[in-house]
Structure 1
Amino acid sequence: MDLLALADFNLVARYGSFGEAARASERPKATLSRRVAELENDLRIRLFERGARGVTLTQEGRALYERTGALLAELNESAAAIASGSDEPRGRLRISAPALFSQIAMGKLVASFVLKHPQVRIEVTTEDRPVNMIEEGYDLVIRVNPEPNETLVGRIFLRDRLVVVAQPGLKRPAAKSSVRAVVRVAPEGTAYWDVIGARGKARMFIEPVAQLSSLVMVRDTVRLGVGAACLPLSLVSRDIAAGKLAHWGDVEGPEIALWALYPSRRLLSTRVSAFLAHLKASFPSGTADELAALIE
């Protein structure tokens, strides 16, 4: 297989059209079209569906792009490192991270990483939705309890758990009665939390009185005595220790596991490897207390 033709195919796939790829690379559009056609002839498969508004990857083209894009980037990075005589991470590192973790930790993590590796340029996108790493061009994705994905590998670097908290002056509800609650997502049907505390396991019925899109907003509202809330321990552990919030118990259910995910391949870029090592150094035990320590 012609690696140069493969590189041209990846270029067109990334930009979505021969014209955009030609402008980005400052190469003739006809040359790119010819080399991609030669690659299709060599492989005996159609890689793109051509249209008036651009090109669309075929199923075979998408599979080839997902399997070779990261490899070509690794080859380019390795060549640049050899040419410079250094294995120091360099280049752009694109990361997608969930909103709460970004608000608490990513600013400090990025600052300490860039100070350690000044030749890396980091871009962080904050979003809770699942992203397609290959299509959207991410090098690393941080997610909470992600669904299994055979195209990605990863590791847990932090564990947390959900707890029910309220202002100390708020009384716990009696059996079968409900408590006013601040929630992020409005529940359907009868709303309750199964709470495990000093009194054992109990089902606590709730009456949502406020729905807020941010867990930080939920915490701030609960601090003012509006109601109780179910929140990650890392977000409220300092308030519990300071007596600003009362801990009513832990919520029964799966733990909160934060994963760092990356494309499944044997060779990681030096940028991704360095950031994974940075996460490990920042959270050596992977506990909620270590995340809480970053909250100001």
Structure 2
Amino acid sequence: MDLLALADFNLVARHGGFGRAARAAGRPKATLSRRVAELEASLALRLFERGARVLKLTEEGRALHERTRVLLTELDETAAVVASGGGKPRGRLRVSAPVFFSQAAMGKLAARFALKHPEVRLEVTTEDRAVDMVEEGYDLAIRVNPDPDESLVGRIFLRDRLVVVAAPSLPRPEGDAAVPAVVRGSMGDSMTWPVRSPAGKSNVIAEPVLGLPSLMMVRDAVLAGVGAGRLPISLVSHDLAVDRLVLWGDLDRPEIALWTLYPSRRLLSARVSAFLDHLKEAFPMGTADELAAHISG
């Protein structure tokens, strides 16, 4: 595939017409039209619907534009870095992050990064689903215990763990008695929370009485004495230290590992490298205590 023709196609698609693209790039309109026609011929596809006054991408043209525009941007930026002999971060950086980490930490992290790298346009979206980074145009994703994916590379940058806590006014039940519980999401039936404490392993029989959409809201309800809750230690360590909450034990489950992920088939841009370094500076040891300090600081 002719990369120059592909670049001209993306130029026309981005500006919505041959005339506007020609004026923006200082290129002859006829040249752009010829390049796009040659690309269509080589692919045996119609990429634009050409009306009297309107130029619209076909379905195939839209798919090609979405899949190639980011890659071409990466190539342009890499060429610029090589030509200038430096790697100053610049351009748009799209990051997907989970809800809790975004609410608890991303605001300050993003603000400090923006101040440090004013030529980077950082855009953070918050969602717990596993986004398709290439299809949806993300440069970096932060995920909790992600499933293996051969198309992505990454590393753990932070570890946390879940604990069972309650307000001091809520006594821990004995034996098989159930305790009211605040849960994230739908309530459902009673559940068993296996916990570890200095006294050994035991089970907490949790009877959901309140379901909330975020861990921050669950913490607020647990502080109010509605019920016990399962929460990250980073979110409640300060409350435990000042006796606003009581620790019933660590949840007997694998630890929470937060990963940074990016597509392995793309060049690692200067802006992605800068954001990875920024996370490393914020959490040099990658511990729950560092996240707790960041939240309360």
What is the TM-score of this pair, normalised by structure 1? 0.83
Displacement after TM superposition at 1:129 (Å): 2.4
Q: Who is 1:56 aligned against?
A: 59
**Pairing of 1:63-102 with structure 2 (within 5 A):** 66=67, 69-82=69-82, 86-102=86-102
Offset at residue 30 of structure 1 (A): 8.7
Superposed displacement of residue 151, structure 1: 2.1
Compute the displacement of 1:161 (Å).
Answer: 0.8
Aligned equivalents of 2:189, 2:265: Cα separation in 1? 44
Structure 2 equivalent of residue 206 of structure 1: 206
Q: CA deviation at 1:87?
A: 2.1
CA drift at 1:83: 5.5
Which position in structure 2 is the counterpart of 1:112? Answer: 112
**Counterparts in 2 of 1:135 and 1:160: CA distance versus 1, 3 Å:** same
8 Å CA contact 1:50, 1:56 repeated in 2: no
Deviations 1:207-230 (A, max 9, x none): 111111121111111112111000
Equivalent-residue separation in structure 1 for 2:19 and 2:264 (angstroms): 30
- Specify the alignment match of 1:150 in structure 2: 150
- 1:100-249 to 2 correspondence within 5 Å? 100-249=100-249
Q: CA deviation at 1:135?
A: 2.5
Contact 2:188 2:208 in 1 (8 A): no
Change beyond 3 A, Cα 1:20–1:282:
farther
Alignment RMSD: 3.1
**What code does the residue aligned with 2:183 have?**
V
- Measured against aligned partners, the alpha-carbon deviations of 1:54-89 in whole angstroms (never above 9, x if no partner) come to 43349xx66x975x5554222211233356564211
Separation in 2, partners of 1:264, 1:219: 37
Name the SS for the 1:74 alignment partner. helix
Tell me the alpha carbon deviations over residues 112-168 of structure 1, each in whole angstroms, 9 at most, x when there is no partner. Answer: 222222221211112222222222222111111222223221111111111000012
- AA aligned to 2:96 is S
Question: Where does structure 1 lack aligned partners over 5 or more consecutive residues?
Answer: none
Contact 1:6 1:39 in 2 (8 A): yes
Distance 1:85 1:36 in 2: 33
Change over 3 Å in CA distance of 1:181–1:70 after alignment to 2: same
| SS in structure 1 of the partner of residue 193 of structure 2 | strand
Higher radius of gyration, 1 or 2: 2
Answer yes or no: is the 8 Å Cα contact 1:186–1:208 preserved in 2. Answer: no
Match of 1:216, SS?
helix
Q: Aligned pair in 2 of structure 1 residues 123, 245: CA closer, same or farther (>3 Å)?
A: same
2: distance between equivalents of 1:184 and 1:35? Answer: 54
TM-score between the two structures when normalised by the length of structure 2: 0.83
Structure 2 stretches lacking a partner, 5+ long? none
Give the percent of matched residue pairs that are identical in Structure 1 and Structure 2: 61
The secondary structure found in structure 1 opposite 2:257 is strand
Contact 1:19–1:29 under 8 Å retained in 2:
no
Post-superposition CA distance 1:93-116 (Å, at most 9, x none): 111111211112112112222222
Moved more, 200-209 or 216-225: 200-209
Offset at 1:195? 1.4
Aligned residues: 288
Tell me, in whole angstroms, the C-alpha distance in 2 between the residues paired with 1:21 and 1:235.
Answer: 54
Structure 2 residue identity aligned to 1:154: G
- State how far apart, in whole Å, the 1-side matches of 2:135 and 2:144 are: 21
| SS class of match (1:121) | strand
Q: Compute the displacement of 1:32 (Å).
A: 6.4
Q: 1:133 to 1:213 in 2, by over 3 A?
A: same
Alignment of 1:272-283 (within 5 A): 272-283=272-283
Q: Which amino acid aligns with 2:94?
A: R
